[in-house]
Amino acid sequence: MGKIKKKGTSGQARNYITRTQAVRKLQISLPDFRRLCIFKGIYPREPRNNKKASKTSSQATTFYYTKDIQYLLHEPLLAKFREQKALSKKIARSLGRNEVNDAVRLEKYGTPKITLDHIIRERYPTFVDAIRDLDDALSLLFLFANLPSTSTVPSKVIARCQRLCHEFEHYLITSNSLRKSFLSIKGIYYQATIQGQDVMWLVPYRFVQKATQDVDYRIMGTFVDFYSTLLGFVNFRLYTSIGLVYPPKFNAESDERGAELGAFTLEGRVGDGLENGDSLKTIANGHSQTTNSVEVQRQLEQVVQLEESEQDQENDNQAGKEENDDALDKFETAAPEADTLAQPDLDSNQTASLFASFTFYISREAPRHPIEFLLRAFGCRRIGWDPVLGEGAYTNDEIDGRITHQVVDRPSLPESTSLGESGEQGQNVDNNSRTLRPGMRVPGRTYIQPQWVWDCINAGRLLRPDLYAPGATLPPHLSPWVQAAPGQYDPRASLAEQELDGEAQQALEESRNDGKEDDPSSSDVESSEEGSVDGRMDIAGSDNEEDEVDEVPAEEDFAGFEDEEAGGVGSGNEHEDERSQHQKELEAEAAGLPFSSTPVSGKPSTGTIGTEAKKRALKKQKEEEELERRKMMMSRKKRKLFEKMQYSNSKRDAEAEKLRSKRRRLERAS
């Protein structure tokens, strides 16, 4: 006889442990247990059989792996949590004895310091693993960087998040790692390529945030502590990989005055090109600053001038880059039904020089920080803005002649209000800042809306600025990560590329039928009747009017009628027929049809239209019959699956056709 197993010692009852049992085993409180699980990356698990895992208990509970809880027994943070618990008891005892000074001293000097460095090294053994997990970290840190300071969210946490985020943005600007961005309802999406890994995060808009009470900020604060430590490690590794000193110099006074990115000064070692290997190259917002050695400064100026001359030469030869052998290849599909091939992204040289030759000025109503970040990340070194937006600008003078583009978000500015030679301007804030009066425009400057910056970055080239003029209806801002699937409506492609066979002609026929009642050229018979009443036509011909109207649908009789009346009534409407024929040719050209498909006469040939409609209906009927024959050869299971697929495809095609018809009406109306 085999040995009888004791209940609850094997299987799921041994592999899973409840949360209450885990807290008792670790001898910590429930909040500390949550913090520890977040730091270590341990999450609840769902067993296959809750009854067996809970040892015949029917109560709903949370389960963890037993091995995960045993792994937590050796965590050094448990000792820190116990020290904090002991300290809280001492502070409570001192307050109970009315020893306030002792309680303040214990809280100030006796609080144990918790570090998460060892946990970062455990969870991310390689640097690539840390980069892959940056999506959630950046989204949460940028969120806390824009929150207001409250009792649940201290100002120190917000300042730390802002500093880490600005350091990360400076790395993206220096390394030209930013690739795409998108304006959505939730916020601004960014995507960067860091050491071959695509990182995407979300930055909320800078509205007045109101902290709600239905959010557990203690749990979110735990994630902020972990992610801030992670981003600090990543920033250190990224800065050192490109030869920069970390952390960069931070000017707190400049940051309080709204400098943001301008409050940081990047320092990089340039020992390769100089004799003194310990010398530093100081970079602040794209402008070199002085160092201690005069010789070093002279060599640095030569290097900067050489880089600027090379960059200007690249900008002049930007048109010939596409013909270069090193240009990126474009993959084209062999058949129209084939899948769309993914095109390679732009290299760092092309993205670094997109806005390099321009000088931008950001108006006070435009969002300064995201525009400044995008412009600097794509090569622009000279960015000015209104003084009320903060310091750190290249220039605060709105009338500066070096400005080539101005980002505005106002109604359209008429050309008649351009700034003349007299130089009318508003009140000067100081000697370096001049502002225009409302409605004034500087001649020779390109005025654009903020969306132009995002669309140029996503397209990888400079778009037409007149489409983004102030007050103009902007083109659709589409997500750069959504690729149009075959059969779906693509707003980027033209209407002729997406229309099915005969769809344009059918839409043209429907529009003609709808406009027959309003078209004066389509009611010649009625005009002839009115002419007979006025006495301008022969009354003897009015007896056969009904027979002639009945014979109109026949193509041959209709042509013969025109031949017979060529010398009579038709000669009076000759110019009108030419105008109607020209109108039909324009409609056919807009629909993408050849001119030969339109009738020669001014009136539409109903016989030709009816023949083409019958051909399309016959072709559709044959396809449906062939489809039914194939479905009869399928099994029941496959036939049901095929019908579901067919239903979803028909629903998608109907939606695409609806969008195409809407776009067709808009194009005709315009």
pLDDT tens for each residue of 18-36:
999 999 999 999 999 999 9
CA distance 216 to 219: 6
What pLDDT shows up at residue 501? 66
Q: Break the chain into its structural domains and give their ranges.
A: 12-75, 117-268, 270-312, 348-468
CA distance 657 to 499: 8
Per-residue pLDDT of 466-521, as tens digits, reads 999 998 889 889 899 987 777 777 777 777 777 776 676 677 766 676 665 555 55
CA distance 476 to 483: 15
What pLDDT shows up at residue 515? 60
Pairing of strands 405-407, 359-362: parallel
The owner of tokens 């502590």 is 225
- Spell out where 397-451 has E strands: 405-407, 446-448
What pLDDT shows up at residue 105? 92
Phi, psi of 446, deg, nearest 5: -90, 120
Low-confidence ranges of the chain (pLDDT < 50): 272-297, 300, 304, 319-327, 416, 420-424, 429, 522-523, 525-572, 597-604
CA distance 607 to 369: 64
What pLDDT shows up at residue 350? 67
Question: Which CATH architecture group holds 348-468?
Answer: 3-Layer(aba) Sandwich (3.40)
What pLDDT shows up at residue 538? 46
Phi, psi of 536, deg, nearest 5: -85, -15
Pairing of strands 405-407, 280-284: unpaired
